[in-house]
Structure 1
């Protein structure tokens, strides 16, 4: 009697799964009719579903995850700028118009928006208005501690990648302390700006008349440090650079020597996203193509 019940349970389970797959395939065929999906695309989508008909099958879950997590690479037929913009459009809802203040900031600090790491979080715009807006965003982040520091925290994926880089090479913070080198508050960003510039300089930046200052200090609310995806380091040899690059960290802000950005790509993939390799006084920067 128990065996019969068990068999019925398995049969019911198989019927339910078969019904679900049938409905799912029907939805795909509807999409084919309405959106002109090619037969090849349909075959690649539907093929992994066959294994789901087997009882207690895990492969169908694995296949679904593989489809979802497939890394994005821009169409290489596009030019550098188009490849970069197509990549950041995934994470940045609104792309600023050329010749605007926002576009200037995106050109200088926008490298992080191509980061494929699903563990990081990016703001919905490239300027945070004030301390409250910055805190609201930072409260949504999952943070991780940078090893061998007192109070240096980054988004966890960025911290993990940096800690991995430091396994082979010890890489000290620029200041040696931590707070100002890592994730910053809006007020800290503002304090650094006021140290090197003022409202008159900011007005020139906003009008597009001044850009060199951006390689020294970020205007209030625009620093990658606010997002927990940048750090200031004292890098003195090629082995340190190599270790950082191998773990997704690159220098992306021209002339800002201590500043490192967590891009999350390999060096060989950076050109695929449109980045331009530029050597300045012996330092290799990867610059956005805007």
Structure 2
């Protein structure tokens, strides 16, 4: 009887030991699996948003949220104006009312507000009141030097896109002075305006009685150059234009020949966002439908 009881105790110990070993093995397996998942997540998190919302407008992965982000695409059933407004409404806190000075400026210089590039920062409005307000915005920007220049700075995504275009074709600045051709200060914008216009013309622009001047020079505080998303270039052939277009740069201000805007879309997508194609004296402009 005692031998039987002893055998039972030995069997119980074996069972307990086997159970303990099984639990340990399970825990080790679980930790390894968990670690593998964590490493995979970290690997995905480390992947940059390279090409996300680029000129190809392809879906991409947001590694911080592990979700698929689908670039905004306007409803094709809407008319051009409605598609354009639906796109910029996602970037501008308030859409100006038709007939206002702000709306006039949005029509002339608002192309950039459709830009899907997550690397750029857009202004909260289309008019800066003074130098201080301009500087406060510009100090929040991530800037980059355009390759081949000494002092031509743009928002980094715009600078990178322009540098890619320059790798394909040599594209010189209009004047060669980066501070004037690239990102400008409020005072520089004001000096350009004074060179070509005056307070009387500004009053007419504000009333909607004069708009042609906007294709020559921007009123104080309204230039796309203040946002680090425009540049003046000296273009002499179609290869240069094609290279710029392939990298999201387009001419969007009618009659302003040297002026290029970083829109960040492919040319095929511009009509989808409501842009109107206009050819003036052999130059293709993509005009806002406002």
Task: Report the TM range for the smaller structure's normalisation.
Answer: 0.7 to 0.9
Q: Is the 8 A contact 2:245 2:266 kept in 1?
A: yes
Q: Which has the larger radius of gyration?
A: 2
Partner of 2:5: none
Partner of 2:232: 232
Partner of 2:245: 245
Alpha-carbon distance change, 3 to 185 in structure 1, aligned in 2, over 3 angstroms: farther
Alpha-carbon distance change, 2 to 172 in structure 1, aligned in 2, over 3 angstroms: farther
Q: How does 1:157-168 map to 2 (within 5 A)?
A: 157-168=157-168
Aligned residues: 252
1 CA distance for matches of 2:24 and 2:130? 64
1:143 paired to 2:143: yes
Partner of 1:173: 173
Task: Give ranges in structure 1 of 5+ residues lacking alignment.
Answer: 18-53
* C-alpha deviation, 1:6, in angstroms: 7.6
Partner of 2:277: 277
Q: How does 1:1-290 map to 2 (within 5 A)?
A: 7-8=26-27, 11=30, 55-56=37-38, 57-58=40-41, 65=63, 67-290=67-290
* More moved, 67-76 vs 237-246: 67-76
Q: Normalising by structure 2, what TM-score?
A: 0.81
2 CA distance for matches of 1:13 and 1:133? 54
Partner of 2:51: none
SS in 2 for 1:188: helix
Q: Normalising by structure 1, what TM-score?
A: 0.81
SS in 2 for 1:98: coil
1 CA distance for matches of 2:21 and 2:224? 63
* C-alpha deviation, 1:8, in angstroms: 3.5
* C-alpha deviation, 1:145, in angstroms: 0.3
RMSD: 2.4
1 CA distance for matches of 2:224 and 2:200? 23
Partner of 1:38: none
Q: Is the 8 A contact 1:10 1:55 kept in 2?
A: no
* C-alpha deviation, 1:69, in angstroms: 3.0
* C-alpha deviation, 1:179, in angstroms: 1.1
2 CA distance for matches of 1:64 and 1:142? 20
2 CA distance for matches of 1:63 and 1:5? 37
* C-alpha deviation, 1:203, in angstroms: 0.6
Q: Deviations over 1:204-249 (max 9, x none)?
A: 1001100000000000000000000000000000000000000000
* C-alpha deviation, 1:196, in angstroms: 0.5
Q: Is the 8 A contact 2:145 2:151 kept in 1?
A: yes
2 CA distance for matches of 1:256 and 1:163? 22
